[in-house]
Amino acid sequence: MTGKPLFTIVPEGSITTPQGFRAGGLHCGLKKTERHDLGVIVCDVPAAAAAVYTLNAFQAAPLQVTRESIGVEGKLQAMAVNSGNANACTGKQGEADAREMRAATAQALGLPEHLVGVTSTGVIGELLPMDKVRSGIARLPGSLKWDGGNDFCQAILTTDLVQKMTCAEVIIDGKRIYIAGAAKGSGMIHPNMATMLGFMTTDAQVDSEDLQKLLSAITDSTFNMITVDGDTSTNDMVVVMASGLAGDRKLNAEHPDWPSFVAAFQYVGEYLAKAIARDGEGATKLIEVQVVGAATENAARAIAKTIVGSSLVKSACFGADANWGRIIAATGRSGQAVNVDTVDIRLGDFPVLEQSRPVKFDEEQAAEYLKGELVVIFVNLHMGDKQATAWGCDLTYEYVRINAAYRT
């Protein structure tokens, strides 16, 4: 080990930074305001592809269509996405519309259909206005740019307040390769808007199977470890495309630079996941819960997610209340075995519980810490060496306002 970082962050990087990718976005009329609502990522060559999908039983139609496309040869050359309408709970017509959206994109770009994926985010239960979608897709090729990352990012936003993208650089076989990502998501909804979409691009040369394994693994420790409100959308999806244009030889677990690639990949996933949590509906701060000393990784994950998802913990963070009783109560109801005599809890640097007994701390200083934009809750179970981290946000008046608002 030289101490050299495994990867570096590319400050102005976007999903078009990796070689071979262009992106675009335009307004086709699905959103009421003149913002982009249709976007596309296109690769110069068929890219190795992998994806993870929502576990919600009511999976939206476009997810099925994308899954079919990737199933054919593990490749995608384009991903089309619309916001403003989720094409979820739309029955047979919704399926037909998702297929037509794929066919139209393939035709506009001159690609075979099975190299095109589609996804949608927005209102549930309304049919896509296909006339608008069709005419929009016909104009998509004209929107493509080598620096179209921002246009694409705008096209996928719903209630999001900020665009979420990042790019990492990593050296493989002595050559520079990039891994980039863009995401949207802030609550399940703005009344009925669907949650989280993630798009990752890289110019590394990786097989579809290796990409899938890697994506599934990092999803478990990134996208699956965030919760804004505990509600899993019908439309969640993360898709990754690898153009291979920057690599001389296959990159996989046998390759000496694989750990660097994994680290950069993990960074991009974690960055996007945290950005979604921080931009949670109504949120004023990011909450990070680190659980260590667990007997199993599953236990660590379940406890971290239970704490970060607790309405009481979230309210306390909003109120800057060092209310560790709620943290221990959430730990205890997580369904995991815990040793009730050995739990330590810290809020940032403030120990509040040691060996399950209250510790005197300076309430004012702790409240000052909790008023910050990042609250780290640290829990040591002292039962083993497994750990997990989860991210979420505080529960605020604004969350209630946004979600109590009438849809129309």
333 binds a second copy (CB under 8 A): yes
Cα dihedral sign, 10-12-15-17:
negative
**Residue 392: which of 334, 336, 318, 339 has the closest Cα?**
318
Nearest approach in angstroms of CB 108 to a second copy is 30
CA 128 from chain center: how many Å? 24
401 binds a second copy (CB under 8 A): yes
360 binds a second copy (CB under 8 A): no
End-to-end, the C-alpha distance of the chain in Å comes to: 58
Residue type, 213: K
91 binds a second copy (CB under 8 A): yes
Q: What angle do CA 23, 28, 29 make, to 5 degrees?
A: 140
242 vs 317, beta carbon nearer a second copy: 317
Residue type, 385: D
Catalytic annotation, pick one of 159, 195, 202, 306: 195
Our separate counts of H helices and E strands in the chain read: 11, 16
Residue type, 383: M
Half-sphere exposure of 256 (CA within 13 A, CB side): 4
Give dist(CA 230, CA 375) in Å, integer.
19
188 binds a second copy (CB under 8 A): yes
Tell me which stretch binds a second copy (CB under 8 A): 45-53, 130-138, 154-162, 306-314: 306-314
- Using the CB atoms, write b or e for 259-271: b if 16+ within 10 Å: ebbbebbbbbbbb
Q: What is the DSSP letter of 152?
A: H
318 binds a second copy (CB under 8 A): yes
Among 324, 350, 369, 378, the residue binding a second copy under the rule CB under 8 A is 324
Concatenate the DSSP letters of all residues of 331-375 into one string.
HHTSSS---TT--EEEETTEEEEETTEE----HHHHHHHHTSSEE
Residue 66 phi, psi (nearest 5): -65, -40
Q: How many CB atoms lie within 10 A of CB 249?
A: 9
125 vs 348, beta carbon nearer a second copy: 125
216 vs 403, beta carbon nearer a second copy: 403
141 binds a second copy (CB under 8 A): no
Among 107, 135, 298, 311, the residue binding a second copy under the rule CB under 8 A is 311
Residue type, 95: E
Give dist(CA 161, CA 146) in Å, integer.
25
Active site residue 331: no
405 within 8 A of 361, measured Cβ to Cβ: no
Tell me which stretch binds a second copy (CB under 8 A): 168-176, 212-220, 261-269, 335-343: 335-343
298 binds a second copy (CB under 8 A): no
Nearest approach in angstroms of CB 352 to a second copy is 9
Tell me which stretch binds a second copy (CB under 8 A): 172-180, 211-219, 288-296, 334-342: 334-342
310 binds a second copy (CB under 8 A): yes
342 binds a second copy (CB under 8 A): no
Count, residues near a second copy per rule CB under 8 A: 67
Among 163, 323, 380, 389, the residue binding a second copy under the rule CB under 8 A is 323
Among 143, 154, 260, 331, the residue binding a second copy under the rule CB under 8 A is 331
Catalytic residues: 195
Residue list, annotated binding site for substrate: 158, 184, 195, 281, 403, 408
Chain residues in the site for a second copy (CB under 8 A):
55-59, 88-89, 91, 123-126, 187-189, 191-192, 229-234, 309-312, 315-316, 318-321, 323-326, 328-333, 336-338, 340-341, 353, 356-358, 363, 367, 395-397, 399-408
